[in-house]
């Protein structure tokens, strides 16, 4: 019974969480944490260069500030995109479908995590045989980790290809940003010893000496 009771709680919590967020928000949250933080770290040198020029500072903390700025911007853009999709689904009366699908996926993920923890607890003999015999859900839960592993192995090549392609794209974005910031910084360099854009000040000439005259206007 304890196994079944925990199963009901885990399933209900996962479904409620997924139903509240919906499948769109759930997917975008996964993207935000999986790819968003990686992308934020990749383009942090670019943002750091921009911040250093803006604040005229080479403080090492600018790198941390650049990472925080990137995370904030990426999270904001992903959440805005998620809300736009949810609004579109609601407009075509698919909002309920979005919530139910999100609840089902999160419930399944929660049950998967619970089954792995349960498998580990049985292996280390944390749960006795009597508790296992009383459970009605254990015969189903005990097979979930193995099936999940088989599915993961089957999709591993595709997942690896997607991850490698994403990393190549992020590297391209990082390289493009660094080239742009370096080129912009070179535009403001002034060659040493030359100042072609600043006019020289005109030389001041000594005032001409006026002839001295008497009161009657006759020069001396």
CA distance 115 to 121: 10
Model pLDDT, residue 210: 54
Contact 21, 29 (CB under 8 A): yes
Model pLDDT, residue 186: 44
CA distance 77 to 85: 12
Q: How far is CA 200 from CA 167, 188, 196, in A?
A: 53, 20, 9
pLDDT per residue, tens digit, the chain (220 aa), is 788 899 999 999 989 988 888 888 877 777 777 777 777 887 788 888 888 888 887 777 788 888 888 888 888 888 888 788 878 777 666 778 888 888 998 898 899 889 988 988 888 888 888 888 888 888 888 888 888 888 878 877 776 776 677 677 777 766 766 766 666 544 444 445 555 454 455 455 555 555 555 555 554 5
Tokens for 105? 């996926």
Contact 79, 210 (CB under 8 A): no
Contact 38, 45 (CB under 8 A): no
Model pLDDT, residue 195: 52
Q: Phi and psi (nearest 5°) for 181?
A: -70, -35
Contact 16, 112 (CB under 8 A): no
Contact 101, 133 (CB under 8 A): no
CA distance 78 to 3: 38
CA distance 174 to 183: 14
Model pLDDT, residue 135: 87
CA distance 166 to 55: 32
Model pLDDT, residue 209: 54
Tokens for 116? 């792995």
Q: Using alpha carbons, select from 29, 37, 16, 26 the residue that is nearest to residue 170.
A: 37
Q: Please report where in the chains the tokens 């080479």 appear, as a residue.
A: 58
Model pLDDT, residue 10: 92
Model pLDDT, residue 175: 72
Domain extents for the chain? 2-185
Contact 174, 42 (CB under 8 A): yes
CA distance 5 to 2: 5
């Amino acid at each position: 019974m304890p196994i079944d009771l925990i199963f009901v709680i885990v399933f209900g919590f996962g479904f409620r969480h997924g139903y509240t967020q919906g499948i769109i928000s759930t997917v975008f949250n996964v993207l935000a944490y999986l790819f968003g933080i990686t992308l934020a770290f990749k383009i942090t040198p670019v943002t750091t260069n921009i911040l250093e020029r803006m604040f005229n500072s080479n403080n090492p903390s600018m790198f941390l500030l650049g990472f925080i700025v990137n995370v904030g911007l990426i999270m904001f853009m992903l959440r805005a995109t998620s809300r736009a999709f949810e609004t579109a689904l609601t407009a075509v009366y698919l909002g309920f479908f979005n919530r139910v699908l999100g609840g089902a996926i999160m419930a399944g993920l929660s049950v998967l995590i619970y089954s792995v923890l349960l498998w580990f607890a049985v292996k280390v003999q944390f749960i006795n045989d009597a508790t296992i015999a009383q459970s009605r859900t254990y015969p189903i839960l005990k097979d979930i980790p193995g099936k999940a592993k088989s599915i993961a192995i089957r999709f591993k090549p595709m997942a690896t290809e997607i991850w490698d392609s994403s990393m190549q794209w992020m590297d391209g974005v990082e390289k493009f940003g660094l080239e742009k910031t370096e080129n912009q910084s070179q535009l403001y360099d002034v060659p040493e010893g030359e100042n072609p854009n600043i006019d020289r000040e005109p030389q001041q000439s000594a005032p001409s000496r006026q002839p001295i005259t008497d009161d009657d206007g006759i020069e001396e």
